[in-house]
Structure 1
């Protein structure tokens, strides 16, 4: 879906959903496309108070709008659930959900607009992420989530499991491998990867992770800082799992630095086995990239499988 702008019926629906919970009736006075995503269309909308308004607060506000086709409205439902839970935790900032809805052939998600910077208080980011992980645990200790969601555009299975290794095997690696097999993964490579799943218990000897609330897709493009330098996380694919999955992905396409890990560990100690498991956890995302984009991600995934099997069989 590509749009040159938002059609009038869409903006009218968005404004109606905003004004339903507002004293003032905001009007649209500006619209700017926002780049950066490859799944949704995104816009920054400028809203103004009517000229006859007596409000003493600012006469303008900005909001952030994501658009997708109506058939993909479930994307926004799962994202809004995760964002609301993060905000309720009061541990780390994320955009506030204002509204979501459907109009015509489209679905939309309206979020608080936060001007973002790539530089900020990395130590505070580490501390707040650690507190999110440490203090927001699954109520029954199970791994999973209230419903399935998405990792990028790929469905992410979140069936509740009492055992983390079982959850990661069945709901993460196995689901990606089955999808990749349908897209041409050879039987030989598929069986090899299934062999890695059989070796998973080796990576978890003497380690039973808590079922922590995780962002789930925490690469360097999904966190930033506001104008005050406060950390902001966004575009979650959340569930309850091992907190190490977020730490691992932070290293997948970048490196937050030693200051980050030092600050994080003071709030939530990192098990020494993490250095072996991080490649295992990032295999899930490389498999997903292979499913989404193909190309070199296929060979990268199989190289990771070979390395992980080699490591597991040394023990």
Structure 2
């Protein structure tokens, strides 16, 4: 099928690559709302009846299919509607949202492609992001047939460590665009210092959103005290920006039919590797996962350091 159809540059997901790949603007910092699957499905039916369906058009042209054999709704979560398109070129996975523009899916596509390019853990390859003529947006991506379980936890830990070590950033902490975690805006302005980035764009921003919505001044004040005193908590920590999935909970983890781990629905950014475990309270990670992750992460770090030392020795020693 069209596994070679790429939305993004095959190299690093730079801002220029994103522009040429998606031809979209960065995500606005005030995005909210959720889709209703029935409404999204009815809109797709209307588009099909009117003959103005960009999803079918892409599949039957750039997707290399000549026939769409059928479509059916599958689980898309509480924010988006999801469909499987069966074609003579293989199946495609399509998510639609009837209320939110393409910026949300553009952020997701850039994150998926960045993870895909690490050639470490399996993620669905994004193919196309666009607007729906009836309002809203869509994303077409590779369809991955899931296995019956989440797969082996130790394998997930190893693969995640490989991804974290494979992708680095020379711009510091952040991402090429703002994106969303669920439907909540996530600010990814490039920042040189991890503690500054985490304090301002993660803890601080979430506290502001919560205060605006719920008016809980006590939580806000406690959060601000934490931010003011957070730097000593990182004393002795090795801080370097690495590519994070950003929303790694149980609903975004699966396995393919071979049992290899699959992660999806990311909220990617470059951050301190241990920030990946912020959702561990609802991810179900066990000892096998953590042991495999940290053993592999430290081993990869050691190999990288040893390689650098050999290069230095070769330059300055006879």
Q: CA deviation at 1:71?
A: 4.0
| 2:13 matched residue in structure 1 | none
Aligned to 1:27: 67
Equivalent residues in 2 for 1:99-114 (5 A)?
99-104=128-133, 105-114=135-144
- CA 1:248/1:138 → structure 2, altered by over 3 Å: closer, same or farther? same
Instruction: Give the structure 2 partner of residue 7 of structure 1.
Output: 45
Query: Which stretches of structure 1, 4 residues or longer, exceed 6 Å deviation after superposition?
Result: none
1:214 is displaced (CA, Å) by: 0.3
Among 283, 286, 294, which residue is 1:265 paired with? Answer: 294
Decide which of 9, 18, 31 is 2:59's aligned counterpart: 18
Q: Which residue of 2 aligns with 1:169?
A: 199
In the alignment, the residues of structure 2 paired with residue 236 and residue 137 of structure 1 have an alpha-carbon distance, to the nearest angstrom, of 17
Q: Is the 8 A contact 2:60 2:67 kept in 1?
A: no
Instruction: Give the distance between the partners of 2:86 and 2:46, measured in 1 at CA.
Output: 15
Report matched runs for 1:229-268 at 5 Å. 229-249=259-279, 251-268=280-297
Partner of 1:72: 101
Deviations 1:167-216 (A, max 9, x none): 00000011111111111333333222211111111211121411010000
Partner of residue 163, structure 2:
132
Match of residue 212, structure 1, among 237, 242, 259:
242
Relative to 1, partners in 2 of residues 1:116 and 1:264: Cα closer, same or farther, differing over 3 Å? same
C-alpha RMSD over aligned residues = 1.9
Match of 1:225 in 2: 255
Equivalent pair of 2:210/2:216 in contact (CA under 8 Å): no
Which runs of 5 or more residues in structure 1 are unaligned?
49-59, 271-315
Give the 3-state SS of the residue equivalent to 1:221 in structure 2.
helix
Contact 1:18 1:99 in 2 (8 A): no
Q: Which residue is equivalent to 1:279?
A: none
Question: Whole-Å Cα distance in 2 between the matches of residues 121 and 214 of structure 1?
Answer: 20
Task: Give secondary structure in 2 for the equivalent of 1:268.
Answer: helix
TM-score (norm. length: structure 1)? 0.76
Kept after mapping to 1: 8 A contact 2:84/2:94: yes
In the TM superposition, what is the alpha-carbon distance from 1:19 to its structure 2 partner? Answer: 3.1
Aligned pair in 2 of structure 1 residues 12, 47: CA closer, same or farther (>3 Å)? farther
- 1:255-305 CA distance string (max 9 Å, x none): 3221111211221139xxxxxxxxxxxxxxxxxxxxxxxxxxxxxxxxxxx
Q: Distance in 2 between matches of 1:119 and 1:79?
A: 22
**1:119–1:225 Cα contact (<8 Å) kept:** yes
Once the two structures are overlaid, the 10-residue window that deviates more, 69-78 or 36-45, is 69-78
How far apart are the structure 2 equivalents of 1:189 and 1:90?
Answer: 41
Determine the structure 1 residue equivalent to 2:12: none
**Structure 1 residue matching 2:123: 3-state secondary structure:** coil
Q: Distance in 2 between matches of 1:157 and 1:172?
A: 8
- TM (norm. structure 2) is 0.75
* Residues paired across the two proteins, number: 256
Whether contact under 8 Å (1:47, 1:62) holds in the other structure is yes
SS in 2 for 1:150: strand
For the pair 1:123 / 2:154, whether they are aligned, the reply is: yes
Structure 2: 5+ residue runs without aligned partners?
1-35, 300-318
Q: 1:188 to 1:123 in 2, by over 3 A?
A: closer
Task: Tell me if structure 1 keeps the 8 A contact 2:65–2:87.
Answer: no
- Tell me how far 1:34 sits from its aligned partner: 1.2
Q: List per-residue Cα deviations over 1:4-48 (Å, max 9, x = no partner).
A: 4532536832122123325x4432221111125111111111113
Taking a change above 3 Å as real, the CA distance of residues 149 and 254 of structure 1, as seen in their structure-2 partners, is closer
The corresponding residue for 1:281 is none
Aligned to 2:181: 151
